Structure 1
Amino acid sequence: MNIILLVADTFRYKNCGFNGYKPSYSENKASPTPNIDNLAEKSILFDNFYSQINCTHPSFTTMLSGRYPISHTIISHASLHEIIDGVVMFPEILRDNGIKTVAIDNMYRWFVKGFQDYIHPVGENAVPNSFIVEANQVVDKGINWLESHNNEDPFFMMLHFWDPHVPYSPPKEYEKMYYNGNPKNPTNPDTLSMNDIEEKLDLIFKGFQSRWERINDINYYKAQYDAEIAFMDKQIGRFIEYLKDNGYLEDTMLIFTADHGESMGENDIYFTHVHLYDQMMHLPLLIHYPKKYKNSNGRIQPLVGNVDLAPTILELYGLEVPEYFEGKSFVPLLENGGDHHREKIYMFEHEAISRRGVRTKKWKFIKNARNPKDDIVKSRLQALGYIALDVGEVDDKELYDLENDPEEEENIIEEHPEIAKELEEDLETFVEEIINTVGIEDPQQQQDLEPWGEFDDARQWLLLLNERNQKFKTYDP
């Protein structure tokens, strides 16, 4: 058996057609994911799959290592820290057991570990670590690899699609798929004025796309996000057709998921992925291998985390899962369905402000760590997507009843202090057990929030990160 892991960056559960999504803001109610929807019809779907952290580098590290962010210590975007010694990525185990491994991706660093072929989607002349690559480039490289290695079996392939990530710039023919109006003069009187978030948008997008200047309709950005998803879906459909036409689907499992989500204005967070709300943490997951795993069990309901992907993939290949993996294989759910996998999901954030949280199906508890550098925190929160820029408005602790308040709009910690206390104690016990087992200090306390550069120029910020990336340690596959 072969496995192909398709990972969409910044793709939230809510925007999947196979989860019932229809763009409410648009006259066009068509799903942006028709090809993935078709795949889902013969796949096992997970309704409660969550990320352990809300940004790319840490989330991919968790997916590949089967360890929580506080265990592998990569806890922030474009981390200025290196992964600690001794962290084994599951592709290393696959490689050592005779399985060919390939990734079509551009993050390099420790992400190359275990991949015999690590291929940049743009090619040798690409800007190192630049995330602006397009789905057609990823698919082209994936198909090229398959055509040149058609006798190598079994294999594991990972494709990383960046399209839904900011700056939401789909191909021109997709721009009006979900938006036909004039974004500089919206006719809908109920549309939130972009003036309300203009300062934030300037910080996020200045230097990316000059065509976005003076746009004052928030729905335009929602439409471009969905258009990016639609373009990605079209390319994934092309890839699936290639697999079908060349006989791969008979003995190849497809896994489709994401690394984290994105907020489209919920909780006053616009076009970014900060905080631990479900807009950022709730992810799609489908497993397509009808030869063995039918979707007769319906949609899988137990809580599952992306820390569970690594041990699951090892077990699917018939390999032993190392004891140091902190994830738990969900192969039993594929085989038998069932109503239990995890009681709780643990979540972390370490960007403008450190957070950690724990959720059950009913409750979510979030603990916000205060940083004494209030001015710095305020500017980072501003750059990361908050309208409410006063850091004092961020509650120390939050509790949400997810059954009655799935949008997490009302913090009810004062009404249920005993539940919050129980969840907080459980969270701190979990963290303590992890760091004691690994033999490290709490990385959220040890890693100060390094300066990111000037936030008033997004391009300068990206160039600064790329400059730093040239100085990072290189890793052997």
Structure 2
Amino acid sequence: MNVLLVTVDSLRADRVNSEVMPETRSFADESVEFTDCVANGPSTPASFPTIHASRYFASIEGLGIPEPGTDDGIQTLAETLREAGYATAGYTDNHFASGSYHYDRGFDTMYDASGTAEAGKLKQFVQSNLDKSGALFKTIERVYNHADALFASATGNDSEYERASSLNRRAFEWIDEQEEGADGEDSEGDSEWFTWLHYMDAHHPYEAPEEFQRQFLDEPLDLARCRGLSRKGTHHPEEMTDEEWDLIRKLYDAECAYVDDQFGKVLNALENRDLLDETIVLFTADHGELVGEHQHAGHPPEFWEGVLRVPFVVHHPEREAAVVDGQTRLIDLPPTITDALELEAFDGWEGESAWELADGEVDSREYGFADVGRQVDYARCCARRSDGWKLMRHADDGEFCFDYRANPDEKPEDDRADDDIPEYRELSQALDDHQERMKQMREGSSHGIDEDDEMVEDHLKDLGYLE
């Protein structure tokens, strides 16, 4: 049985609907859909240790995961599958989910577009040398947006990141090689493979191709306008008008529609190659996105439902379609895949197989924890309970406690953090215990990438996590 893992950066769970993402919605209806999956962090650096190594971000000192051979307590999904005889390949254009942070562990082939894109290099330079909160940047921001767009057009890069269509092409060239064999002869039966695709298209700036913008806008916006809106919503949300928030939402939906189109092409390519019936396909996201909620765009280091809830859908050729409502977490992804393949999960993985929920062995995972790392001294964290209660700690911004099922908009008037209720006390104790355990694990583990703070901040700014 082959495995295809598709992760989409910044994709909210609620966008997998028949209006915005009909291909993905149809795929979910015909697969096993876990409707209440939570990300274990609000950013790529916080989420990908869970996706690839079933480890909480806060349990590892440094960014990413340790290099191979330095920590016996960490093993990636790719390493596990390669040990089982799988050929492995990954395709990404996110610096925080690349070999730079050891996410190439276990992959025979790793394509990382983030280290080569000229537009990305320009953005890195500009964001590293201009203070977005300063008067100078605000003065030249409009000029920069147009210059950025002109540079993109001149270099043929109509997107901040390599498009999903390009990653798909690269991946299927590799898949075809595995299926045909290196010598061109059919090697069916000996060609089991694991392929990981990470799409960046739904990540801001939202600049979908015109045909997808036209699904939501009367007239498509040019590149400079798209990038300018995204940067304003991310870095200057207090200056946004209602009309601009509406445009942001429509541009985001257009990107989601583009992702849907490309994921549909992946499914068609598998079916045309007679591979869909022998491939487990898992579709998810590293975190969600805010498009105006709580006066934010993007995915700040906070834990609102729009950021935490992600799609988690598994096509298993030997399982019938089902809807599973119990809470599961991204950290459950690696053991879910090994369980589907009837392989042993690595002992050091923190997650548990989601198939236990699908098979009724458990009702849900009681707690979903989420963290943000050392840049905020781990003071931003969250505990989400399966009964609908959630406690968020947003450092200097304070604590928030909601019953998100009763109050899905998480409005200030629904906050119960200042009330002496048992739900708050239980969540607070659970989160304290989790944070203490994470601290002990950090102190006993090897380091990930221990870059200096200036370099880390440059990388975080590059993806819009810091101003």
TM range (shorter): 0.7 to 0.9
Matches within 5 A, 1:1-400: 1-17=1-17, 31-73=19-61, 85-86=70-71, 87-106=74-93, 107-109=98-100, 110-120=102-112, 126-127=117-118, 132-150=161-179, 151=187, 152-180=190-218, 200-201=232-233, 203=235, 217-289=244-316, 291-295=317-321, 298-334=322-358, 336-337=359-360, 340-350=363-373, 353=376, 354-360=379-385, 361-370=387-396, 394=397, 396-400=398-402
Partner Cα distance (1:228, 1:103) in 2: 22
CA contact (8 A) 1:397 1:413 kept: yes
Following superposition, the deviation at residue 214 of structure 1 comes to 11
CA separation in 2, counterparts of 1:41 and 1:73?
40
Matched-pair contact (CA < 8 Å) for 2:33–2:313: yes
Distance 1:440 1:201 in 2: 40
For residues 339 and 464 of structure 1, what CA distance do their matches in structure 2 show?
Answer: 38
* Per-residue deviation, 1:157: 0.8
8 Å Cα contact 1:67-1:325 kept in structure 2: yes
In the TM superposition, residue 311 of structure 1 has moved relative to its aligned partner by 1.4
**Shift of the alpha carbon at 1:275?**
0.6
Once the two structures are superposed, what CA deviation does each residue of 1:160-188 show, in whole Å capped at 9, x if it has no partner? 1110001101112222220116989xxxx
Equivalent residues of 1:108, 1:129 under 8 A apart: no
TM superposition score normalised by structure 1: 0.74
Q: Give the distance between the partners of 2:439 and 2:381, measured in 1 at CA.
A: 14
The structure with the greater share of residues assigned to helix is 2
Distance apart, 1:464 and its partner CA: 12
Conservation of the 8 A alpha-carbon contact between 1:100 and 1:156? yes
Give 1:436's match in structure 2, choosing from 421, 434, 440.
Answer: 440
SS at match of 1:119: strand
| Aligned twin of 1:26 | none
Cα separation, 1, equivalents of 2:464 and 2:244: 31
Q: Deviations over 1:227-279 (max 9, x none)?
A: 11111111111111111011101111111000000001112222334311111
| Whole-angstrom CA distance in 1 between matches of 2:441 and 2:299 | 34
Equivalent-residue separation in structure 2 for 1:331 and 1:129 (angstroms): 39
1:319 alignment partner AA: L
Distance change in 2, residues 1:82/1:89 (3 Å): closer
Distance verdict in 2 for CA 1:416–1:401, change over 3 Å? farther
Equivalent residue, structure 1, for 2:151: none
CA RMSD of aligned residues (A): 3.6
Distance of aligned partners of 1:182 and 1:66 in 2 relative to their CA distance in 1, 3 Å threshold: closer
Contact 2:9–2:201, Cα closer than 8 Å, also in 1: yes
Distance of 1:365 and 1:303 partners within structure 2: 16
Q: Is the 8 A contact 2:356 2:362 kept in 1?
A: no
Q: Please tell me the residue identity of whatever aligns with 2:172.
A: I
More deviation in 42-51 or 325-334?
A: 325-334
What is the percentage of aligned positions where both structures have the same residue? Answer: 22
Q: Residue 111 of structure 1 aligns to a residue in which SS?
A: coil
Contact 1:8-1:257 within 8 A present in 2 as well: yes
Moved more, 91-100 or 417-426: 417-426
- Unaligned runs of 5+ residues in structure 1 are 19-30, 185-196, 206-212, 371-393, 466-477
SS at 1:302's partner residue?
strand
> Contact between 2:67 and 2:105, CA under 8 Å: does it hold in 1?
no
| TM-superposed deviation, 1:215 | 11
Aligned length: 396
Measure, in 1, the Cα distance between the counterparts of 2:307 and 2:275: 33
* Contact persistence 1:59–1:259 (CA under 8 A): yes
CA distance in 2, matches of 1:283, 1:463: 19
Q: Which has the higher contact order (CA 8 A, sep 6+)?
A: 2
Structure 2: distance between partners of 1:299 and 1:238 = 24
SS in 2 for 1:314: helix
Supply the distance in 1 between the matched residues of 2:14 and 2:346 (Cα, whole angstroms). Answer: 34
Are the equivalent residues in 2 in contact too, given 1:243–1:249 (CA < 8 A)? yes
Q: Which residue of 1 aligns with 2:156?
A: none
Counterpart Cα distance in 1 of 2:242 and 2:427: 43
The one-letter amino acid of 1:174's match is: F
Deviation at 1:397, TM superposition (A): 1.6
Normalised to the residue count of structure 2, the TM-score between the two structures is 0.75
Q: Alpha-carbon deviation of 1:74?
A: 5.1
